[in-house]
Amino acid sequence: MNDTRTRVLFLCTGNTARSQLAEALLRHHAPERFEAHSAGLEHAQVRPETIAVLEEAGISTDGLRSKGVDEYLGSMHFQWLVTVCSDAEENCPRIWPGVSHREHWPIDDPALVKGVGRLDAFRAARDDIDARIREWVARVGV
């Protein structure tokens, strides 16, 4: 059986928070319609706050790991490329093989918040991305 789901790549600088949130949320909301992936221009470890705010919302974190663009570039084709930070929008390859749709969702980086409000910043990013995912899924109508 062929997988006819639309492939989506969420791209950010480090693939530790915003793009991970987007990947998990799209998998949660429309797994039958979309194959969600995420990557970073650079990559590190997924931030523990990312995992925490997904789990507190009942969103699966299975399989989430930080990946670099090199893991996908030239080896997997995507119909959609969505950048979730300005750095990725400015510095990712302008031409991505196979991508027919590209969007930029400017999301504030919750990792820049220090101290007491840090977890709340991750929650705000999660909620912002969740609203964008829901609107996007309804709009693209794949």
Name, in order, each residue with C-beta under 8 angstroms of 100's C-beta and a sequence gap of 6 or more: 79, 80
Q: Is the pTM of this model over 0.85?
A: yes
Identify the domain containing residue 32 by its residue range.
Answer: 6-135
Question: Is residue 66 a part of any domain in this protein?
Answer: yes
Q: Which of 11, 12, 36, 41 is catalytic?
A: 12
Q: Which of 92, 111, 129, 133 is catalytic?
A: 92
Question: What's the domain count of the chain?
Answer: 1
Question: Is residue 141 a part of any domain in this protein?
Answer: no
Question: Is residue 98 a part of any domain in this protein?
Answer: yes
Backbone angles phi, psi at 29, to 5 degrees: -80, -30
Residue 108 known to be catalytic: no
| pLDDT, tens digit, 9 for 90 and up, residues 117-127 | 999 999 999 99
Question: Is residue 111 a part of any domain in this protein?
Answer: yes
Q: Which of 25, 85, 88, 111 is catalytic?
A: 85
Residue 41 known to be catalytic: no
55, two tokens: 């789990």
CA distance 128 to 142: 22
Question: Is residue 140 a part of any domain in this protein?
Answer: no
Question: Is residue 87 a part of any domain in this protein?
Answer: yes
Question: Is residue 54 a part of any domain in this protein?
Answer: yes
104, two tokens: 């930029």
Please state, in angstroms and as integers, the Cα–Cα distance from residue 89 to each residue in 13, 98, 104, following that order: 9, 17, 7
Residue 12 known to be catalytic: yes
| pLDDT, tens digit, 9 for 90 and up, residues 22-73 | 999 999 999 999 999 999 888 789 999 999 999 999 999 999 999 998 888 8
Question: Is residue 125 a part of any domain in this protein?
Answer: yes
Here the CATH number for the domain that contains residue 48 is: 3.40.50.2300
